[in-house]
Amino acid sequence: MSSPAAPTARPAAPARRRRRRLDSSLIVGIALIAVIVIGAILVASVGRNFFSAGNIRDILTGMSVLGFVAIGQTLVILCASLDLSVPYVVSLSSLIAADLMAGDPANIPVAVLAVIVVAAAIGLVNGLIVTKLRVNGFIATLGTGLIIKGYLDSNYKGTSGEVPWEFQLIGATGVGPVPVSTLIMLAVALAGAFFLARTRTGNHMFAVGGNEQVARLSGIRTARPVLVAHMLCSITAALAGLLLASRLGVGSPTVGTQGGYDLLSIAAVVLGGTLLMGGRGSIWGTIGGVAIFAVVDNVMSVMQVNPFLKDVVRGIVIVAAVAVYTSRQLDRRRPRFGPGSGASEPPTTAPEPERTGRAEAKA
């Protein structure tokens, strides 16, 4: 009589797992909606309209630069690595672009290409240090960033170069309330999401971040996804540098570090539901994390909150998000052996045919 009950009990576990896979996306979406609602109420309390075209434009503009950096950081973190060189790549890219453009629109294609090539080379060096020398990504990219910083401090004492007006239009124009820079950032996010979902290298990034040893035993060349992730991360940081050069009209050796894009990009990625240890996450979750930061910063700016309190609020948001995701992760990843582990389940189901057979023998 007990055998018919066994097949009906098994689908419950996959159903629970399917529901849990949606948790990170749902949490990010709910958090973003909650932040928007609370922000609208707070802004209305000081006599301003949160949903005005100008305010929406300000929020989307604030998303653009951090969005570029966070997209690339997502790829690196999915591979269980980090990239702390991104703020220096941002600054270097703005300087290379402004110097090569020199106020001449004809130089724009050459300058953009040079920036992308230099950024890709930096990312390749980061990836080679991590994969070939087996240096932790945190240390490897920190060292690379300090090398770039030393070069910037030695060769630049202030702003340099000149960006032509035609290139400045990228940072100054928009389609309705949506800036062109935000549209470009969303296009890059779409390309990144397609890359992760539809390409072999993208799928290998999840595998390498989840368990590098298992991925290697499965026949995956584990070095390639990490190399590609670091190169793409540096390229997206270079795009952020190009955007900042477009907005400033010049290159700046400190524009990346002043923005704090290294830690903020990591925070946006974690806030978007990507595991800091790698293996699981999404580009769109990261964009949601970037949007939350942009809304919070906008609300505090409108309410004229002390700028130092912004870091306090950001810290609270980050800690709360990590606490939520950590509790979910501990609940999902049960121990492989011991009480409460999946290993204890088979003995409760495997002996079932034997008990049924004994029952039939008694009958």
Question: Tens digit of pLDDT for each residue in 281-303?
Answer: 999 999 999 999 999 999 999 98
Q: Are 268 and 321 in contact (CB under 8 A)?
A: no
> How far is C-alpha 118 from the geometric centre of its chain's CA atoms?
22
| φ, ψ dihedrals at 175, nearest 5° | -110, 100
Overall average pLDDT of the 110-133 stretch: 97
Rounded to whole angstroms, how far apart are CA atoms 358 and 158?
A: 86
State the distance between the two ends of the chain, measured CA to CA, in whole angstroms.
Answer: 12
For position 238, what pLDDT does the model report?
97
For position 330, what pLDDT does the model report?
47
**Which token pair is 158?**
């202030």
Q: Are 233 and 85 in contact (CB under 8 A)?
A: no
Q: How confident is the model at residue 194 (pLDDT cuts 50, 70, 90)?
A: very high
Rounded to whole angstroms, how far apart are CA atoms 20 and 104?
A: 54
For position 329, what pLDDT does the model report?
55
Residues 6 or more apart from 283 whose CB is under 8 A from it?
71, 74, 189, 192, 193, 196
Q: Are 84 and 256 in contact (CB under 8 A)?
A: no
